[in-house]
Structure 1
Amino acid sequence: MLVSLFLALLVSSVSATEKDGALPRLNDTKAVEAFIDSAEVVIIGFLESEESRGYKEFLAASKQIDSVPAAICTVEEVWADYSISSDTIALFRKADNHQENLVITETKKLETDGLVNFITINEVQYITEYNQVTAVGLFNSEVKSHLLLFAIRGTKEFTELKEKLRALAPEFTGKLLFVLINGAGKSNFKSLKYFGLTSKDLPRVGIYDGNSDMKWLLPEGEISTERVRDFCQSFLRGELKDVKQAGEQPKTEL
């Protein structure tokens, strides 16, 4: 039913041309809203015309990153609904209800590779795997608290837990970002150590609060949806403040 409704909106409000690589054209606010709601992350070129600076580069970048749906909106009356006043490429993501704008007039050097980098850095999903690229988008987000899943890539648990937490993440939109950390990656060993963990301890779930620089681990046991939900809610209620932080070393008597 939802799929049919979405298609109906697009048929009535979206068109495409061969010249722009068959990217959908969004002709009114309803079409833009439907497009934004169609995926975890989307990117829209709010560009005046096909002759606008950045138009060709945007089309080329959208082809390179086909995992992020892209569209064009040339109807300037619609732009105001998204606080856009001039040619802009905007990325919308659900994980933190964020709109990241790349204003064309403020960009000195505009190339396809640069746009690909802009999309990749800001592509924060409901559950985002941590690496050097995604770290930028995660730490630039206004949401500074992260629910962390430490697991070993390639294991059955890795895939199952990733999907389980992705399904839970929308409940905490705008409050917590869900982050997956591959415990088998050498570049992530520091993150494990920070939480007092080794790869042999995984899978585990933790919370890092960037505002207070505090961290906690979900007690050992089954990583169920209910336990993780309760863990997140306890953090949001402030009930973890007095709980021993993860990775703390016991003090030695002299």
Structure 2
Amino acid sequence: MLCILFLSLLTASVIADEKVSSLPRLSDVEAAEAFIEAAEVVVIGFFQGEDSFGYKEFLTSASEVSPLPVALCMEKEVWAKYSVTSDTISIFRKADLHQENLELSRAKKLESDGLTRFFQINELRYITEYNPVTAVGLFNSEVKTHLLLFINRGSTDFAVLKERLGALAPEYTGQFLFVLVNGGLKSNDRSLGYFGLKSRDLPKVGIYDGNLDRKWLLPPGEISTERVREFCQSFLNGTLQTDVFVE
């Protein structure tokens, strides 16, 4: 038993070391731009050197957040491009065109577990699944309007609707955050109830305006790309005048 445990720990350590050793080193602005453009969410650790405060913790966390792309950068030319002036860990998101910075000089204490949570909180994608961790990042984003897909995971149309709305989301970058709410989870009952919904009513699509604390539901019918697009445009045009609930 001890031998098996030792081999398991050794294997985990080797996998972690392999990911750390394979982290891209961004040597110029062109490389950084290409890295950021290649994925919906990426992380870059801007460090003066390997002895910088938080460097080791960053490497440990990088091994735990697969498949989130992570890179290192020590080139000051790149720092200037992204307004970094001291050792900083930055998360770049396409969903709301945001750069979330953790300036390490402001951190009194830094642990790898805390960094991992920082990554998970801020990992907002074109369509982000709602849970207690991502909720923090969603509500902290400067984009306060959410397009929500309420659907039961495992339903026959789950994959199709998730893909359909995920493909639509880039059209509304900076205007909406697209959020998936799994109606099959008891922990999401409150979110459904806020819209007057129960799990049996799903799938449904809604809009939540965090600035006004108001919500609307897409009227009954097919959840097609065009209908959802029209729903979003109606909100942006100011023609959604009243809250809509299912009967």
TM-score by length of 1: 0.88
Could you say which residue in structure 1 is the equivalent of 2:35? 35
Matched, 1:113 2:113: yes
Matched, 1:166 2:180: no
Q: After the TM superposition, which residues 1-254 of structure 1 pair with which residues of structure 2 at under 5 Å, given as runs?
A: 20-240=20-240, 242=241, 244-247=242-245
SS in 1 for 2:91: strand
State the shift of 1:162 in Å: 0.6
Q: 1:194 to 1:59 in 2, by over 3 A?
A: same
SS in 2 for 1:26: coil
Could you say which residue in structure 2 is the equivalent of 1:252? none
Could you say which residue in structure 2 is the equivalent of 1:14? none
Distance 1:63 1:20 in 2: 6
Distance 1:188 1:64 in 2: 26
Distance 2:207 2:235 in 1: 8
Distance 1:157 1:20 in 2: 38
Distance 1:45 1:152 in 2: 37
Distance 1:19 1:134 in 2: 24
* Runs of 4+ deviating beyond 2 Å: 17-20, 246-249
Could you say which residue in structure 2 is the equivalent of 1:8? none
SS in 2 for 1:156: coil
Distance 1:77 1:94 in 2: 22
- Once the two structures are superposed, residues 70-90 of structure 1 have per-residue CA deviations (whole angstroms, 9 ceiling, x without a partner) of 000000122011111000000
State the shift of 1:239 in Å: 1.0
State the shift of 1:18 in Å: 7.8
Distance 2:94 2:141 in 1: 12
Q: 1:70 to 1:175 in 2, by over 3 A?
A: same
Q: Is the 8 A contact 2:153 2:184 kept in 1?
A: yes
Could you say which residue in structure 1 is the equivalent of 2:10? none
Q: Is the 8 A contact 1:151 1:158 kept in 2?
A: yes
State the shift of 1:224 in Å: 0.4
State the shift of 1:196 in Å: 1.2
Distance 1:183 1:78 in 2: 43
Cα RMSD over matched residues?
Answer: 1.7
Distance 1:107 1:217 in 2: 42
Q: Which runs of 5+ in 2 are unaligned?
A: 1-16
Distance 1:71 1:109 in 2: 22
State the shift of 1:158 in Å: 1.4
SS in 1 for 2:121: helix
Identity rate, percent = 64
Bigger drift between 71-80 and 19-28 goes to 19-28
State the shift of 1:19 in Å: 10
Q: Is the 8 A contact 2:197 2:246 kept in 1?
A: no
- Once the two structures are superposed, residues 119-178 of structure 1 have per-residue CA deviations (whole angstroms, 9 ceiling, x without a partner) of 001001100011100000000000000000000011121111111111100000000000
SS in 1 for 2:216: strand
Count of residues paired in the alignment = 231
Distance 1:49 1:18 in 2: 20
- Once the two structures are superposed, residues 2-34 of structure 1 have per-residue CA deviations (whole angstroms, 9 ceiling, x without a partner) of xxxxxxxxxxxxxxx989522000011111111
Q: 1:226 to 1:247 in 2, by over 3 A?
A: closer
Distance 1:176 1:204 in 2: 17
State the shift of 1:247 in Å: 4.0
- Once the two structures are superposed, residues 29-85 of structure 1 have per-residue CA deviations (whole angstroms, 9 ceiling, x without a partner) of 111111001111000001011111111111111110012100000001220111110
Distance 1:246 1:51 in 2: 56
Q: Which runs of 5+ in 1 are unaligned?
A: 1-16, 250-254
Bigger drift between 176-185 and 47-56 goes to 47-56
| Amino acid of the structure 2 residue aligned with 1:183 | G
Q: 1:221 to 1:111 in 2, by over 3 A?
A: same
